[in-house]
């Protein structure tokens, strides 16, 4: 659905010093040979700290700026040679409120942008009404000036605008930025259940919110200093940083000496409510043997839980390894 190979982009920083005094211009490599493949009908997360190159890549995919090198295709259309066809199959959702007309109502804004897609007359009116209902902006809200919209309502209108041409692909740049937790949660639910599950859209979800990406994305890529440093499912990301998993086992009280004699070396020991909990790192394939040693040593085992590695840990470790 979306495929980019070796995309590069360099910007030249211009200032009064470089223009008037002909000082050397500073070049910033925003993207360095970025390659990604996004499947049809998935929410793919693009993660990275501020300034990593996420928005630059979104703008290239939206045909707003040209790459310096590399190739890209969306729905089989080449980004450079068939940019007009690409625009027909994509919708861009960004946080730029200035792209709307503040004194116009929500419905007037949508009618204006609909005319840019040649959606006029009854056809345009029907499409606008369908989208307002789809994103949950009823008549009272639709007839309000945009300047009076809440952050969540503005974002819903931005999604409706992106859907005017019924695109197959949605490029969502920080879609929950500046939203309160309830509004952000509703936008995530809407994207996952309505856009993807019910309507089969493909979504590129650009964010620096790790919890959000973990909740909504089926696969993701981490971009840092213009390079993709990891890409794949969350389980694959976990495998990059952890060869062993952390387990916590609840057992009957047992001495540390006895545990060591069983060749078990806990990281931590906790005593709670007459039970002992031992925490240790072990490869998944060895956990059965470890539990067997406990049982054979007359230690009662009540529970064994594996601690899940969170995306935040993966992100921090991969960024650290890349610096």
Alpha carbon separation from 272 to 162, 252, 264, 275 (Å, rounded)? 54, 11, 20, 5
For 238, residues 6+ apart whose C-beta sits below 8 A from its C-beta are: 309, 314
Residue 242 pLDDT: 62
Question: What gap in Å lies between CA 65 and CA 72, rounded to an integer?
Answer: 13
- The tens digit of pLDDT for each residue in 167-189 reads 999 999 888 877 788 888 888 89
Residue 21 pLDDT: 63
Residue 15 pLDDT: 66
Domain with CATH 3.30.70.980 in the chain: 242-312
H-type alpha helices, the chain? 16-20, 54-61, 83-89, 106-116, 121-134, 139-142, 151-162, 181-189, 210-216, 234-241, 256-261, 287-296, 311-322
Residue 144 pLDDT: 94
Residue 259 pLDDT: 87
- Write down the CATH number for the domain with range 242-312: 3.30.70.980
Which of 109, 116, 168 has its CA nearest to residue 137? 109
* Mean pLDDT, residues 295-308 taken together: 85
Q: How would you label 288-298 residue by residue, b for 16+ Cβ within 10 Å and e otherwise?
A: eebbeebeeee
- The tens digit of pLDDT for each residue in 75-121 reads 999 999 999 999 999 999 986 668 899 999 999 999 999 999 888 89
Average pLDDT over all residues of the chain: 87
Neighbours of 4 (CB within 10 A): 22
- The tens digit of pLDDT for each residue in 255-273 reads 888 888 888 888 888 888 8
Residue 17 pLDDT: 66
Question: What gap in Å lies between CA 88 and CA 85, rounded to an integer?
Answer: 5
Which of 114, 140, 138, 117 has its CA nearest to residue 125? 114
Task: Count Cα atoms within 13 angstroms, Cβ side, for 3.
Answer: 7
- Higher-confidence residue: 237 or 159? 159
Residue 271 pLDDT: 87
Domain with CATH 3.40.50.300 in the chain: 2-232
Token pair, residue 233, equals: 């499912």
- Rounded to two decimals, the pTM is 0.76
Among residues of the chain, what percentage have pLDDT more than 70?
93
- The tens digit of pLDDT for each residue in 121-148 reads 999 999 999 999 988 888 889 999 999 9
Residue 247 pLDDT: 85
Res 244 pLDDT > 70: no
**CATH architecture entry for 2-232:** 3-Layer(aba) Sandwich (3.40)
Which of 56, 61, 14 has its CA nearest to residue 37? 61
The answer to whether residues 303 and 249 touch, using CB atoms and an 8 Å cutoff, is yes
The answer to whether residues 205 and 213 touch, using CB atoms and an 8 Å cutoff, is yes
- The tens digit of pLDDT for each residue in 9-44 reads 998 877 666 666 666 777 889 999 999 999 999 999
Region for residue 107 given its phi and psi (left: phi exceeds 0; alpha: psi -120 to 50; beta: otherwise): alpha
Residue 18 pLDDT: 63
Res 241 pLDDT > 70: no
């Amino acid at each position: 659905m979306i495929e980019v190979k070796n995309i590069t982009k360099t910007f030249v920083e211009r200032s009064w010093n470089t223009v008037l005094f002909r000082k050397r211009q500073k070049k910033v490599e925003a993207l360095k040979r970025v390659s990604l493949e996004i499947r049809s009908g998935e929410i793919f997360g693009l993660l990275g700290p501020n300034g990593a190159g996420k928005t630059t890549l979104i703008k290239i995919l939206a045909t707003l700026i040209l790459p310096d090198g590399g190739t890209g295709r969306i729905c089989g259309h080449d980004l450079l040679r068939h940019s007009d066809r690409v625009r027909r199959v994509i919708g861009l959702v960004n946080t730029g409120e200035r792209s709307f007309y503040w004194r116009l109502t929500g419905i007037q804004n949508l009618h204006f942008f609909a005319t840019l897609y040649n959606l006029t007359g009854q056809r345009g009116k029907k499409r606008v009404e369908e989208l307002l209902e789809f994103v949950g902006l009823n008549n009272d809200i639709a007839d309000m000036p945009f300047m009076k919209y809440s952050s969540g309502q503005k974002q819903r209108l931005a999604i409706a605008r992106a859907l005017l041409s019924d695109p197959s692909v949605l490029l969502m740049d920080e879609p929950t930025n500046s939203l309160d937790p309830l509004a952000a949660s509703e936008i995530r639910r809407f994207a996952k259940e309505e856009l993807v599950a019910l309507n089969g859209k493909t979504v590129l979800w650009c964010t620096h919110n790790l919890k959000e990406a973990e909740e909504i994305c089926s696969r993701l890529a981490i971009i840092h200093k213009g390079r993709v440093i990891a890409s794949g499912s969350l389980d694959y990301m976990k495998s990059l940083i952890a060869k062993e998993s952390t387990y916590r086992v609840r057992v009957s009280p047992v001495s540390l000496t006895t545990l060591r004699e069983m060749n078990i070396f806990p990281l931590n020991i906790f005593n709670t409510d007459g039970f002992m909990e031992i925490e240790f790192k072990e490869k998944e394939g060895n956990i059965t043997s470890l539990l067997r040693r406990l049982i054979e040593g007359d230690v009662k085992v009540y529970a064994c839980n594996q601690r899940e590695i969170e995306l935040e840990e993966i992100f921090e470790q991969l960024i650290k390894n890349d610096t």
